[in-house]
Amino acid sequence: MRELLLHCRPGFEGETAAEMQELSGAKGIAGYAVTKDNSALVRFVCPQEGDAERLMTKLRFRDLIFARQWALGEWLDVPVEDRISPIITACSKGPIASCVWLETADTNDGKAMAALTKKLSRPLETALTKTRFVRPAKTDAPRLHLCFESGQRVFVGWSWASNAAPWPMGIPRLKVPRDAPSRSTLKLEEAWHHFVPRDEWDSRMAPGMTAVDLGAAPGGWTWQLVNRHMNVIAVDNGPMAPSLMDSGQVEHIQADGYMFKPKRTVHWMVCDIVDKPARSSALLGRWIGRGWCREAIINFKLPMKQRYQEVMQCMEHVQADLDAAGIKASVACKQLYSDREEVTCHVRVLHAGSFKIQALG
Ligand SMILES: C[S@@+](CC[C@H](N)C(=O)[O-])C[C@H]1O[C@@H](n2cnc3c(N)ncnc32)[C@H](O)[C@@H]1O
C-alpha cells in the first residue's frame, strides 16, 4: 500500500497537500501529493513500499490541521456488474478490520453517490463478515474505508482508531440542540470533541467552572458552556438570547472583547469574533501568556490566499508569546467540519496544577 487518502473541506486541498508535504519531509519520508481543486480529497503517494504506512505511524492524526480523516490503501477499479468481488480480493491483501465504512468525498458529486453506497452497504458488510475480512469482535482492529470516487472506482484503505478521526469522512454527527440560540453552537461542541478526550470532559468542563466568551452573541457558544453548568461572562455589544440570560449562569458585558480583562482568572476563554487572524492570535497569546485563563478555544478566520502559511504564523506567534511568558502549553489547530473559511485553535496550559482562580490586578 503506497498511498494515504485524506478527506478535507472542499477548496482546502492545497492546504492539506502543503501540510502533508511539509510533515513527510520533516519525517524524512519521500512522497508527493496529488490534488484536484474542490474534490475534497487529497492523495499522498509514497513510492517506496512501506513508506506510506511508516508515515501514517509517525504522524499523529490530531496534529494535522486540514485533514478530516485519512486511510492507508490503494485505488481499485470495479466493474458495475460486480463491485463486491474485486473489493473482497483487495481486502484479502490488507489487515483484518473491525468494521467497514462506506465513504465518498464531501462534495455534490460525492453526495450524488449516496444511493449507491446505501445500496452496497448491506451486501458488502455481509460479504466481508462472511469472508472474515471484517470481524466486529476484534475491536482493536483497524477500520476498513471504502471511499467511492465514482461507481467504478473505489479507494480501499484502513485507519486505526487511536490515530484517526472517530467518524466516517471525519464528519461528526452532531445535532444543533433545540434550545441553542445559533448553529454556531456546534463549533464549540465539535472543538471539544476534537481537542478534549472524552474521559476528561468531566474534569476539564466541570460544573461551577468559569468561562469568558468573547463575541458571544447571540449565545451559541455560551449555550454549550452553560450546558456544562459553567458560569459565563459573555462579552459582546450585541444582544444575548433571553433564554440564556434566564439561566442565571450568564453575565452579559457590553464591551470590546479585545479590551476586556477579567477581574479574576478563569478556566476557559472562548472567542468567535470575526477579525484578522493576527489580532486573534495576539489576543490568545495575551490571555494565556498573562495567565488569565487555563484553556482557550478561538477561531482564526482565513479569507486570504496563503491560508496554510497564515495558520502556521498564527501558531508561531502564540508560541512566541507563551515562550516569552515562560508558560508551557499545548497549541493545536484544526479545521473542524463546522469551520468554513477558518480553523479552530486550542491552547491548554500544561502545568494546570499550578493554575489557580485568583484576582487579577
Ligand atoms: C460569529 S458571531 C458569534 C456567534 C456566537 N459564537 C454564537 O455561537 O452565537 C461574532 C460576534 O462577535 C461580535 N463582535 C465583533 N467584534 C467584537 C469585538 N471587538 N468585541 C466583542 N464582540 C465583537 C459580534 O457582535 C458578533 O455577535
The model's confidence at residue 237, banded by pLDDT at 50, 70 and 90, is: very high
pLDDT by residue (tens digit) across 62-83? 999 999 999 999 999 999 999 9
**DSSP letter string over 313-336?**
HHHHHHHHHHHHHT--EEEEEE--
Asked if residue 47 is part of any domain, the answer here is yes
Q: What is residue 351's predicted lDDT score, i.e. its pLDDT?
A: 75
Asked if residue 360 is part of any domain, the answer here is no
Are the C-beta atoms of residues 12 and 66 closer than 8 Å to each other? Answer: yes
| 152: CATH | 3.30.70.2810
DSSP class of residue 32? Answer: E
Which of 222 and 306 is assigned the larger pLDDT?
222
pLDDT by residue (tens digit) across 141-192? 999 999 999 999 999 999 999 999 999 999 999 999 999 999 999 999 999 9
What distance lies between CA 187 and its chain's CA centroid?
Answer: 10
What is the Å distance from ligand 1's center to 213 Cα?
9
Burial class (CB in 10 A: 0-12, 13-18, 19+), 358: exposed
What is the Å distance from ligand 1's center to 100 Cα?
41
Q: Which of 101, 136, 170 is the last residue of a domain?
A: 170
Mutate to test the pocket of ligand 1, among 189, 226, 237 (most ligand atoms within 8 A of CB): 237
What is the Å distance from ligand 1's center to 339 Cα?
16
pLDDT by residue (tens digit) across 318-331? 999 999 999 999 99
Asked if residue 359 is part of any domain, the answer here is no
Q: What is residue 231's predicted lDDT score, i.e. its pLDDT?
A: 98
What is the Å distance from ligand 1's center to 205 Cα?
22
Place of cell 508527493: 32
80 and 211 together in one domain? no
What's the structural domain count of the chain?
Answer: 2
User: CA 344 → CA 42, 99, 333, 347, distances in Å?
Assistant: 21, 30, 6, 10
Which helix (H) or strand (E) segment holds residue 109: the answer is: helix 108-111
159 and 97 together in one domain? yes
Percent residues over pLDDT 70 in the chain:
99
Q: Read off the pLDDT of each residue in 231-257 and give the average, rounded to a whole number.
A: 97
Q: What is residue 352's predicted lDDT score, i.e. its pLDDT?
A: 57
Closest ligand 1 atom to Cα of 182: 9
44 and 87 together in one domain? yes
262 and 132 together in one domain? no
Query: How do strand 342-349 and strand 293-301 relate by DSSP bridges?
Result: antiparallel
Residue 73 labeled ligand binder: no
102 and 198 together in one domain? no
Closest ligand 1 atom to Cα of 235: 21
The model's confidence at residue 303, banded by pLDDT at 50, 70 and 90, is: confident
153 and 273 together in one domain? no
Q: What is residue 106's predicted lDDT score, i.e. its pLDDT?
A: 97
**Ligand 1 environment, Cβ below 6 A:** 181-182, 184-185, 214-221, 235-238, 256-258, 272-274
Measured CA to CA, the distance from residue 16 to residue 4 in angstroms comes to 12
Asked if residue 138 is part of any domain, the answer here is yes
- What is the average pLDDT score of the chain? 95
Place of cell 481543486: 37
Asked if residue 350 is part of any domain, the answer here is yes
Residue 181 labeled ligand binder: no
DSSP class of residue 241? Answer: P
100 and 52 together in one domain? yes
Measured CA to CA, the distance from residue 38 to residue 151 in angstroms comes to 19
Asked if residue 177 is part of any domain, the answer here is no
Are the C-beta atoms of residues 279 and 340 closer than 8 Å to each other? Answer: no
Q: 83-87, 234-238, 304-308: which range is least confident on average?
A: 304-308
Asked if residue 292 is part of any domain, the answer here is yes
What is the Å distance from ligand 1's center to 204 Cα?
24
Q: Which of 139, 170, 201 is the last residue of a domain?
A: 170
Mutate to test the pocket of ligand 1, among 259, 271, 272 (most ligand atoms within 8 A of CB): 272
> Which residue range is the domain that position 30 belongs to?
3-170
- At residue 59, does pLDDT exceed 60? yes
| 333: CATH | 3.40.50.150
Residue 109 labeled ligand binder: no
Closest ligand 1 atom to Cα of 257: 20
Closest residue to atom 23 of ligand 1, CA basis: 215
17 and 150 together in one domain? yes
Measured CA to CA, the distance from residue 352 to residue 107 in angstroms comes to 41
Give the number of other CB atoms < 10 A from CB of residue 253: 15
Measured CA to CA, the distance from residue 67 to residue 3 in angstroms comes to 15
Asked if residue 176 is part of any domain, the answer here is no
- At residue 272, does pLDDT exceed 90? yes
Q: What is residue 252's predicted lDDT score, i.e. its pLDDT?
A: 98
Q: Read off the pLDDT of each residue in 280-306 and give the average, rounded to a whole number.
A: 94
Closest ligand 1 atom to Cα of 256: 20
pLDDT by residue (tens digit) across 20-37? 999 999 999 999 999 999
Rounded to 5, what percent of the chain is helix, strand, coil? 35, 25, 40
| Residues across the chain | 361
165 and 191 together in one domain? no
Mutate to test the pocket of ligand 1, among 274, 275, 339 (most ligand atoms within 8 A of CB): 274
Q: What is residue 354's predicted lDDT score, i.e. its pLDDT?
A: 65
Q: What is residue 353's predicted lDDT score, i.e. its pLDDT?
A: 59
Q: If phi over 0 gives left and psi between -120 and 50 gives alpha, with beta otherwise, what is residue 112? A: alpha
- At residue 285, does pLDDT exceed 90? yes
Which helix (H) or strand (E) segment holds residue 150: the answer is: strand 143-150
Measured CA to CA, the distance from residue 131 to residue 143 in angstroms comes to 16
278 and 313 together in one domain? yes
Measured CA to CA, the distance from residue 240 to residue 255 in angstroms comes to 13
Cis peptide bond N-terminal to 218, omega within 30: yes
117 and 189 together in one domain? no
Q: What is residue 305's predicted lDDT score, i.e. its pLDDT?
A: 82
Catalytic annotation, residues: 301
**DSSP letter string over 36-48?**
-TT-SEEEEE--S
Kindly provide the b/e burial profile for residues 122-139, where b requires at least 16 CB atoms within 10 angstroms of the residue's own CB: eebeebbeeeebbeeeee
Residue 184 labeled ligand binder: yes
What is the Å distance from ligand 1's center to 43 Cα?
37
Q: What is residue 304's predicted lDDT score, i.e. its pLDDT?
A: 80
83 and 230 together in one domain? no
